[in-house]
Chain A
C-alpha cells in the first residue's frame, strides 16, 4: 500500500510527464487554448495510460523480457524478445486507442463529438509510449504498481494541461512583445511552471 501511494505521488508531482520529461508537449501546446477541451483531452490520455500500462507490463514480463518465456518450459528459458518491445507497445497503444474511439462513439456520442479529433491523436502522444518505456526501465514490482504509475502520470499530465489552459485564457489580455506572442510565450510559461514543479523534487512519502 505504501509503495502504491509513493509511486502515485512521485508520478503526479516529482516525475511529472510534462515538466520533468516534456512528454506529450506537442498536444500540450496545441490543445491548451481553453480549459474545457484541455480537460477532455487530459481525461482521455489518463484513461488510455491506465489501460495500456498494465497490458504492456504483463507483455513485458511474460513475453518480451529475457527469460520471460520460461513458463512455457525450459526450452524457452533463454529467449530474449526485448528488441520487439517498441513494436509491440506501439501496436497495443494504437489498437487500444482505436478500440476506445469505437466504444466512445457507440455508447457516448456526446463525448465523442466533443473529443472527436483528439481521440485518434492520442496514439501518437509521446506521454503514452513514454509511460510504457519508463515502466520497462523502472521494472516495477507488480502489475498494481504499474497501473498506479499509469494513473499518476495521466493525472499529472491532466493537471499540467488544465493549468496551462487556464493561464493562456488570461494571457489573451496581456501586452506581449509581438514576436513572442502565441508559441514563444507559451514556452516561457511552461518553463516557469516547470521551475515551480521542481520544488517537489526529492519529495518522499
Chain B
C-alpha cells in the first residue's frame, strides 16, 4: 500500500469540499459560528480541532477491537477529553490571548460533533493510518470554512486582517464605514448560509428537494 493510494487520497481530500463536515455533513456548527468574528482565533481553532480529530481517530482506531460496543461512547469521550485538556493547557501556555478569546469553546471541542461523528463513522472501522488521514482531512475541511467566515467577518466588520489594518485610511476619509453588524453573532450564520449557497449551486447533486 502506497503512502497515498487512490482511496487514501479520497479520504484526505474528500472532506475539503464534496464531503465538507460543516456545510455538507452539518457537523461542528456550534463552534464554527462562535469563534469566527476574527481571523486569528478561527485559524487557531481550526488547527486545534484538526489535531484533536486526527489523534483521537488514531487512538480509537488502535483500540477499536478491544472496546466493548456498549461502553464505546464513554471511552470515546474520555479519549477526547484527555486530548482536549492537553490542547487547552498548551494554548494557555503559548497563546494565552487567543485562549482568552476562544473561552469555553476550547473545552467544547469535546462535544464538537465532528469529533464524535468521525470516531463513530470512520475510526471504529478503519486502520490507524487511514483514520489519521480522515482526521486531518475533516479537521482541515472544518478549518477552511472557519477561515473563510473569519476572513470576511474581520475584513468587513473591522477592516483588519489578523489585527493589521488592510482597508486604507483614504477609504474612511471618503466615507467608507466598517459594518459593525458583521461582528455580531447572527451574521456568522448568514455568511455560512451564503457559503452553502455558492457551494451548492456549483455542486448540483448536493441540493435538497
Residues in A lying within 8 Å of B, measured CB to CB: 19-26, 29-30, 83-84, 86-87, 90-91, 94-95, 120, 123-126, 128-130, 133-134, 137, 177-185, 187-188, 190-192, 194-195, 198
Residues in B lying within 8 Å of A, measured CB to CB: 23, 26-31, 33-34, 73-74, 77-78, 81-82, 84-85, 88-89, 103-104, 107-108, 110-113, 116, 184-190, 192-193, 196-201, 207-209
Q: What residues of chain B lie closer than 8 Å to A177, measured between beta carbons? A: 197
Q: What residues of chain B lie closer than 8 Å to A178, measured between beta carbons? A: 200-201, 207
Chain B proximity of A30: nearest CB distance (Å):
7
Known: A87-B85, A94-B74. A133 touches B104 (CB 8 A): yes
Complex CA–CA separation, A43 to B47 (angstroms): 35
User: What is the predominant secondary structure among interface residues of chain B facing chain A?
Assistant: helix
Q: What residues of chain B lie closer than 8 Å to A90, measured between beta carbons? A: 77, 81, 110-111
Complex CA–CA separation, A126 to B23 (angstroms): 18
Q: What residues of chain B lie closer than 8 Å to A133, measured between beta carbons? A: 104, 107-108
Pick the 7 closest A-B CB pairs, nearest first: A182-B208, A191-B189, A194-B186, A179-B200, A187-B193, A133-B104, A179-B201
Which A residue sits closest to B192, measured CB to CB? A187
Q: What residues of chain A lie closer than 8 Å to B209, measured between beta carbons? A: 181
Instruction: Evaluate contact between A179 and B33: CB separation under 8 angstroms.
Output: no
Instruction: Evaluate contact between A29 and B74: CB separation under 8 angstroms.
Output: no
Q: What residues of chain B lie closer than 8 Å to A20, measured between beta carbons? A: 185
Q: What residues of chain A lie closer than 8 Å to B196, measured between beta carbons? A: 179-180, 183-184, 187
Complex CA–CA separation, A15 to B122 (angstroms): 36
Instruction: Evaluate contact between A25 and B33: CB separation under 8 angstroms.
Output: yes
Which A residue sits closest to B103, measured CB to CB? A137
